[in-house]
Amino acid sequence: MRKLKICMLTPDYYPKFYAGVGVHVYNLVKHLKALYDVEISVFVLRCEVIVDQQPRVFEAPEGVKVVEFTGNDDLANSELDYFTYKWTRNNIVALEYVANHLKEYDFDVVHCHDLFPVWIMDFFRRKLNIPVVSSIHARSADVNKIEDSLRGFLCRNSDACVAVSGKLKEELENRYKTTGIRVIYNGVEACKNDEKCEKEDYLTYCGRICSTKGIDVMLKAFSEVVSDGEYKQFSLKIMGTGELLEQMKVYAEELNISDYVLFLGYVPNEEARKVISKARIHIVPSTYEPFATSALEAMEENTAVIASRVGGLQEMIQDKKTGILVEPSNAEELATAIKKLLKDDDFRSQIEEGATESVKEFEWPNIAKQIFELYLEVVDNAK
């Protein structure tokens, strides 16, 4: 078989990541290149800004061609400063570029990551008859929004559709009245440090600061922890940005815990892993979470995880064996779990050791193998 030529469509990619999808695609590309004879081109269609007519074309690490449609948020505070308008317009701009470069494309398979590049995906599928694999990373949009409809379109019009957890597969099939969605989990990079880091007196959170992430619940729980004199030496490091960042800073002040909470903003993935590796506990307090890569990263870094009993978190964590699961939006239960792990070193060590072993099935070589085999299946079926 000739070298497999793969097109990745993503809203986010190297070198600056906006969200978890970009980190996922970057690592998938890296491991596919390391393991198989493939040629990969990545089309990045930024969804958070208004893109320029001409993309930035460059070569990323591992010899990957990147065509990045990016620009500036020059609609700020205008009537068109509207997320759905931005990525819809961006698709039109990018699609015109793709159509004008038809002769350059000889892909065997297109992999579309979630809904934002869907117009380009549809062009490749219908105009060029290239088979499509789609990965759905969430179904967070309300049912009356166009984002929801486009995820349904992806599920029904891809040659193979992947959900990043069993819970998300069930949710998608029920919502869109479809079947046959595959489950392939997000991957995690193996820990680079063979020796365990010495733990410091802080807890961590890493992710977007938005309504589904339960940051307010975590802050409330942490305020209950530090109000107990036994835990006053501990701090909470929050890594990430999002629309609720300033509101959560105000809430921390209202709870009188500003001196204990550090909002670190955007932290590059490698640096975030280092911060997590030294934490006593990593918290994932989401109210909705199809998957949470930061939980896997903490498990790899030998840091005990407390997570909400929602979505894919229930599939990666065995309660009280590889982490602790708590009810979402329950600050009291979360505070109790935090105190338990901080007070009982032996129990926390058992959690850490169990997690370090169980997380191996999620490491990237295993995930990349499943994705590559799916590509071959789709290409063979198209023939």
How far apart are the C-alpha atoms of 318 and 358, rounded to whole Å?
Answer: 9
Give the mean model confidence (pLDDT) for residues 272-283: 96
Residue 35 lies in a domain: yes
For residues 154 and 238, membership in a common domain is answered with no
For residues 58 and 158, membership in a common domain is answered with yes
User: How many domains does the chain divide into?
Assistant: 2
For residues 222 and 351, membership in a common domain is answered with yes
How far apart are the C-alpha atoms of 77 and 15, rounded to whole Å?
Answer: 27
Closest CA to 42 of 113, 125, 136: 113
Kindly give the pairing relationship between strand 71-72 and strand 50-51.
antiparallel
How far apart are the C-alpha atoms of 145 and 147, rounded to whole Å?
Answer: 5
**Distant-in-sequence, close-in-space partners of 344: CB < 8 Å, separation ≥ 6:** none
Give the mean model confidence (pLDDT) for residues 328-349: 97
For residues 87 and 215, membership in a common domain is answered with no
CATH code (residue 165):
3.40.50.2000
Closest CA to 312 of 136, 191, 115: 136
For residues 48 and 15, membership in a common domain is answered with yes
For residues 370 and 348, membership in a common domain is answered with no
Note the pTM of the prediction, 2 decimals.
0.88
Closest CA to 26 of 224, 173, 189, 136: 189
What pLDDT digit, counting tens, does each position of 299-314 carry?
A: 999 999 999 999 889 9
Does position 19 have pLDDT exceeding 90, yes or no? no
- Residue 15's alpha-carbon distances to 28, 37, 266, in angstroms, are 15, 24, 13
Domain holding 318, by residue range, is: 202-362
Strand segments, DSSP code E, in 73-131 are 109-113
| Angle at the Cα of 129 from the Cα atoms of 10 and 127, rounded to 5 degrees | 80
For residues 88 and 178, membership in a common domain is answered with yes
Residue 193 lies in a domain: no
> Which of 168-177, 191-200, 300-309, 372-381 comes out lowest in average pLDDT?
191-200
What pLDDT digit, counting tens, does each position of 95-143 carry?
A: 999 988 878 888 999 999 999 999 999 999 998 999 999 999 987 777 8
Residue 255 lies in a domain: yes
Task: Indicate the angle between helix axes 146-157 and 166-176, nearest 10 degrees.
Answer: 100
For residues 349 and 371, membership in a common domain is answered with no
